[in-house]
Amino acid sequence: MAIIQNSKYLDFLSKLGIEGAHPGGINLTKEILKRENINRNSHILDVGCGTGQTAAYLAYKYGAKVTGIDINPTMVTKAERRMKKNSLPVKIIQGSVEKVPLPDYHFDFIISESVLSFVNKPRALKEIFRLLKNGGRFIAIEQTINKRLKEKEENEIKQFYGFDSLTMKKDWVALLEQAGFEQIRIQKNTSIDSAPGIPYSDTIEPELYEIMEKHFDIIFRYKGKLGYRIYSCTK
Ligand SMILES: C[S@@+](CC[C@H](N)C(=O)[O-])C[C@H]1O[C@@H](n2cnc3c(N)ncnc32)[C@H](O)[C@@H]1O
């Protein structure tokens, strides 16, 4: 059984059951996907798929053959429910991106939206590389710090989100290169809002509400320092 890391934030996300939970939201995802060569023959993997919003969109819009994997059983249940409700043939697996129970050279396209920061990055990237066909594409929307912060500040962020490290653009590039990826491109999105769409609800339990407040507090206090980038590359 895969081990779920200690992240108050991820726990909060799964309990809240939000639609999508990455910077830029589904609108950014749609923009990114438009630029890729995706069709009904594409085999696509969404790692850390959460409640399956992107995986569902890929199946619905492109008719692609989509698989989603997530470590959190609550997320998996919600993703499965979404696919069933919308009659979408998306396969959802419970497991870790660090060890995916699927064969080598299986996918044309893999997407990771706000996931790699929460896991062992070299291990996950090695798996993603293994799973891609030669010439396959990998896109990641990931947290990126614009400069190193004070140790105390970095610790606060790492502890709250359960990150093992805070990653700058050059660190992500080095990690992608180490995994074997080529043609690495980085995009800084400015036109689409960076906050994930967390709905307000009167029914949020007080403990979850505190976590949500802390999340927005961190985003506000580290504005300009803690951002995200879109990384795209090829195997
Ligand atoms: C911030 S959420 C993003 C979810 C989804 N990609 C989205 O954009 O809505 C991070 C997701 O990564 C999942 N996750 C964390 N560690 C993982 C791992 N080792 N393997 C697979 N999924 C993982 C969490 O359960 C959670 O669903």
Taking only the tens place, the pLDDT of each residue in 6-32 is: 777 777 777 776 677 787 788 889 999
Q: Could you tell me how far CA 103 lies from the centroid of its own chain?
A: 21
> Which residues have C-beta atoms less than 6 Å from ligand 1?
10, 13, 20-22, 48-50, 53, 69-72, 75, 96-98, 113-115, 118-119
Dihedral angle, C-alpha 100, 105, 111, 116, nearest 10 °: 50
CA distance 108 to 117: 23
Q: Judge contact between 45 and 131, C-beta under 8 A.
A: yes
CA distance 19 to 90: 16
19 CA: nearest ligand 1 atom: 9
User: Which domains, ranges and CATH numbers included, belong to the chain?
Assistant: 8-234 (3.40.50.150)
pTM given for the model: 0.90
Mind listing the pLDDT tens digit for each residue in 117-164?
Answer: 999 999 999 999 999 999 999 999 999 998 898 999 999 888 888 888
